[in-house]
Chains A and B, each alone.
Chain A
Amino acid sequence: MASSTSITVDVDGVTYTDDVEPRLLLVQYLRERLGKTGTLIGCDTTNCGACTVHLDGVSVKSCTMFAVQADGHQVTTIEGLAQNGKLAPLQEAFHQCHALQCGFCTPGMIMQSASLLKENPHPTETEIRDGLEGNLCRCTGYQNIVAAVKSVADGVEYDESGVSVSDDLVDDLAADGSERTGVS
């Protein structure tokens, strides 16, 4: 019978040491051991991206990693993004741009968007769509998700009352839209 392994992982700024079975998936560890249910399990087959977290600052699908592989590493979940009770810019942007319908894909979308913007702070609309290709929204609400990410890349700031997406941004997206017409 397989033995347990001791792991030490930093999750959202707190260090945890636990005995885990090697077959325990990282997403199960986060949800079932640590109670971090903000990270969701969508497809459980590496397709949908709902379980996306950051491992040492880059996005990974936590349904496709064992918890033992995270031993000695740093994990950030959606629950670690807000600082001192203030939403991160991407979280505020998703809120203000109405970038969610049912909300199930949202934690993964935000974590992948954060990773994308870290690697490419000023993506075009096409680059945002390519960057989010591993995240599925079954409500098909992609347009506002892309708008939210673009607004953060463009430096739109949201005050406490929130601001709507500016007319300029809508115009930008309409203009960018012309480059993503069909494949022959």
Chain B
Amino acid sequence: MIPSAFDYAAPTTVEEALGLLSAADEAGDEVKVLAGGQSLIPVMKLRLADPSLVIDLGRIPSLSGITDDGDFLTIGAMTTHHVMETDPLLATHLPLLQMAAGTVADPQVRHRGTFGGALVHADPAGDMLAPVLATGATFTVSGPNGQRSVDAADFFQGYFTTAVEDGEILTSIKVPKYTGWGAHYEKFTRVAQQWSIVAVAAMVRIQDGVIAEARLGLTNMASTPLRATATEAALAGCALTQEAIAAACAHAAEGTEPASDLNGDAEYRRHLVQVVAKRAVMKAAGLQPDGLKRTRE
């Protein structure tokens, strides 16, 4: 399958990329910004996207890498899932993001696919969205008028839609550290390399033998990732037993609006999210759910 013809530009700085975007906007060109290309290129091959200009961010070194900024890690938008999966800073301070990155697609896709690309693509079944939302990260977006910051809660606006406007580029994501918190990303799929049918990102802070604080993000339970706020509230002070955690996670479907598709209808997803949330929280807390064997870790 061959995409429609397009012009190609490979800027080497963010300023150059923004200049190209402005010029294309004035010329009325339809532009696509190419990150790792693991979603965009398939969409272009299907001719669901038909840009006249592709701006490749792959030659801008400043957009890649993970840096320690005190209470935060700053992750460049072009950092690959593979780097996220293997980075020691992430393993220490944000194991949830590390674990979620390791569940994206397959190794070849993780070598090319990028963190920022996945977030701006904003597929509701994408695995990096709910974990980032759960962390309360801040997105740095660069545009013709300079940089602006967007809270995770405002970033995801609907199916494949984010706060990044035409003419802007997501450049980095500033994520608070959750050093010492238990974390787990539990993904429910039927076959390897499938998109999540439902997944739950969980982080818990354990103190005095109970869950003192919990943060949960839900994948594929609406047109955007969601925080499971009712479950988070119910988990505060929760005992470390399967029964208590299951009771708290029975709230996981509250406020969700899942789609119905060939993988399951909405009612099925509303049930499934409670089960997956229980598994995610138990594993984040270092407990093994009864009767559960897994093929993948």
Give the interface of A toward B (CB within 8 A). Answer: 1-3, 5, 21-23, 25, 28, 44-47, 49, 52, 55, 58-61, 64-66, 68-69, 71, 112, 115-116, 126, 130-131, 133-135, 180-184
Q: How far is the CA of A68 from the CA of B10 in the complex (A)?
A: 9
Cβ contact within 8 Å between A59 and B107: yes
Choose the segment among B36-44, B137-145, B211-219, B223-231 that binds chain A (4+ C-beta atoms closer than 8 Å): B36-44
- Given A3-B7, A44-B45, A69-B58: 7 more A-B contacts, CB < 8 Å: A2-B5, A23-B6, A45-B42, A115-B107, A115-B108, A181-B293, A184-B292
If the complex has contacts A66-B37, A116-B107, A130-B296, are A184 and B291 also in contact, measured as CB distance less than 8 A? yes
Cβ contact within 8 Å between B193 and A134: yes
Encode contact with A along B1-14: 1 for CB under 8 Å, 0 otherwise: 11111111010000
Cβ contact within 8 Å between B109 and A61: yes
Give the interface of B toward A (CB within 8 A). Answer: 1-8, 10, 34, 37-38, 41-42, 44-45, 52, 54, 56, 58, 82, 105-109, 111-112, 192-193, 291-296
CB<8 Å pairs between A and B, sample of 14: A2-B6, A2-B7, A23-B4, A23-B5, A46-B38, A68-B56, A69-B34, A71-B10, A115-B107, A133-B106, A134-B105, A134-B108, A134-B193, A135-B106
Q: How far is the CA of A112 from the CA of B112 in the complex (A)?
A: 14
- B10 to chain A minimum Cβ distance, whole angstroms, is 7
**Which residues does chain A contribute within 8 Å of B82, judged by CB atoms?**
58
Q: How far is the CA of A161 from the CA of B290 in the complex (A)?
A: 51
Q: How far is the CA of A23 from the CA of B34 in the complex (A)?
A: 13
Contact of B193 among A44, A60, A71, A133 (CB under 8 A): A133
- A33 to chain B minimum Cβ distance, whole angstroms, is 14
Q: How far is the CA of A181 from the CA of B293 in the complex (A)?
A: 8
With both beta carbons as reference points, the residue of chain A lying nearest to B191 in the complex is identified as A133
Q: How far is the CA of A42 from the CA of B230 in the complex (A)?
A: 46
If the complex has contacts A22-B7, A126-B295, A130-B296, are A60 and B41 also in contact, measured as CB distance less than 8 A? no
Closest 6 CB pairs of A and B: A134-B106, A22-B8, A2-B5, A133-B192, A58-B111, A23-B3
Cβ contact within 8 Å between A49 and B108: yes
Q: How far is the CA of A134 from the CA of B103 in the complex (A)?
A: 12
